[in-house]
């Protein structure tokens, strides 16, 4: 994305930083043995997969193709 100078790169990086922050929060909760963690984690991962990977990540594909990266 950086090589192709994708204009949404900064925003995309922020989304991934937020993901890492959320995963770190789940790790803390896991270490505290919170019981709802499994269901909440599965919902979080499902939402990430459906909203980010299947939608947001697909948005930069055409840009990369048009700029000779893919």
Give the model confidence (pLDDT) of 2-26 as tens digits. Answer: 888 899 999 999 999 999 999 898 8
Sign of the alpha-carbon dihedral angle for 8, 9, 10, 13: positive
Q: What is the pLDDT of residue 61?
A: 87
For the chain, what is the mean pLDDT? 87
Q: What is the pLDDT of residue 35?
A: 65
Residue written as tokens 């193709």?
Answer: 65
DSSP designation for 55: I
Which pLDDT band, with edges at 50, 70 and 90, does 70 fall under? low
Neighbours of 12 (CB within 10 A): 17
């Amino acid at each position: 994305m950086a090589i192709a100078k994708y204009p949404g790169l900064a925003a995309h990086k922020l989304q991934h930083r937020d993901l890492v922050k959320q995963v770190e929060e789940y790790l803390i909760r896991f270490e505290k043995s919170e019981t709802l963690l499994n269901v909440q984690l599965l919902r979080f991962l499902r939402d990430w997969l459906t909203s980010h990977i299947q939608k947001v990540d697909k948005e930069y594909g055409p840009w990369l193709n048009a700029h000779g990266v893919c």
